[in-house]
Structure 1
């Protein structure tokens, strides 16, 4: 699970302490008593969660937010904002969103239903489904579902443009010993969907409808959007065009549209059946949680649940914005985690080309422990990774762009500011009234 917010008020540190002590002090502020409620017993969305959602919308971070809490008491929604930034139609639990990679959870359930019916087994090999297939790793369906098939993360543009199953299956010509290390793969989930369709001599859409959508009564979940229900797409508060339709070859990895109400019903079934296939797992603070997110060109979605108390959360918004909105869902999963603040101006999303000048390894001039801080660029965001001289990770966290030269560390009040005139020069790490110098060691 993405890092929860562990914040509080650290004791003032005497002088300019070494970075190791600074980060340990921040990291030690693990969980504070932010919520005094038990989310398993709630019968409505708490007032502090509503307040956080209001701040996200009212302070210009996004047009609208919908949250749904699933617990043993029922399903509880709260929606705030409008379907379009320049409109007046209120968002609701019946508004439709592009759920992007949450589609993968539907694909995983199709696999589970196919196994239950005896159509396939988890260990069915792809060579048994596709005659003449060249698969140099003896891939099984389970390897695709749990992302251990040693396949690329993203589907190539040539495959998408040609909408070619044959082109998609070319990824299987790699040589690898399976199961490989977990590596998230849209390619693998797309192959899984195509393989399930092939094994039953059916279309994947038909399988999805018959085994998941219709049995669960998901009235507004489809690869074709309902334009009367569809929320507008935005980057921040700027409207975007509706994205192009997802090619059918990629249906296993993304492309579904759904509503908060439908997703809550889907999640209720996942909780009831204690499903974990296709989910990411997080173990922390005495419990296990499963989670998955989806982000497309103008919508963001997130789902999570805890098996121990049967609490689940769906969170949807009609924009692509770079902030900590997801922490609202994490707070409902564990109320000890702090709710996000949206008092700051909306963060910017920079290109990898813009971030290239900042990528490298840095040393803190005041750090006698010789910890290293490595900044890498990933999908338009800098990633902060601090290690001890022995290679032990002290902290790994995204950095949010305040502007083109200043970045904030997620979850803690630390800013890294680069010289605007010469971004390759030293940077300052700012914590409260302390300003510590970062010196570039390597590019």
Structure 2
């Protein structure tokens, strides 16, 4: 009996060991199967490294898009409302900000700049859309493929003596900074479109109101940074002023190498004295009379480089400038300038000819020995603040200057008998 019992126990132990071994073998098989599946999904070798890098790259890009899509709008909204409000001295509000990181498109809605002392908003923009290009990163300057401004509304009030309700903004902007200027900002903005614009001009001294509505402006590009981008709009300016309609003319030559687009601006017999009341009150001279004729051509070219060029004729007649004591300083019966190349963004002027007909210059010296023209260059505090804004000097070139029947008058109060 003892032998039988020992045999039973031994057989039972062997059985348990076999069951345990089988279970362990099955676990190894399952683990091996999982490893084989894993190797099949992500094999070792160069292909495996390439797949891992690709997967990580896609994941990082998607995560970056997600973070910028969620994070940029509140940052832009906060920055505009806080920084712009501090800079302008007016409350700036933004209703909604949308950013698309995959196309670098930024859209602002319901942008508003408050008016002075609780007045209605000075500026309102229903929608502002800017589509940036990746070239902005490499060019170290903003490059925009499109800039769209929808339904802007501007309110301006003339308070008399050349003062306006936005003078406080200009004063803050012209305050200057202690940082040295590094030169003008380099930028390239393409396909600029302003649609549905409205300007309300209130003239308090004359108790009148002028209104510009249905304002449409399209500009192929505004750039001082050479960057070749696709141009989708033609130059166009149209508006209604107090019920009168104005619409510009454009000419496009899309099949030429320079892809030139021209816009023409023409004005005949414009009385300049109608607008002297709106000039700053601190100007040292006043326009007593003058009429203006314009026949200009604005050319937008892309080859060999991006450029805005203005050419044509500017003519003024019966121009008289007086000082603050209403004494005549400069008068000319006729002034004609034939522009060959005016590049405002490059700050250069090239005139083929400048002609003066019967110019009259009145020079004088007071009892203290001060020249009357020298006193004109003494800037007022407002003018000094504007000059502190900096900027580079303009380059002016005149090929031909013609003066006919000119005269210079001299009076000297420092000498007995003048």
TM range (shorter): under 0.3
- TM-score by length of structure 2 reads 0.23
Structure number with larger C-alpha Rg:
2
Structure with the greater relative contact order (CA < 8 A, sep ≥ 6): 1 or 2?
1
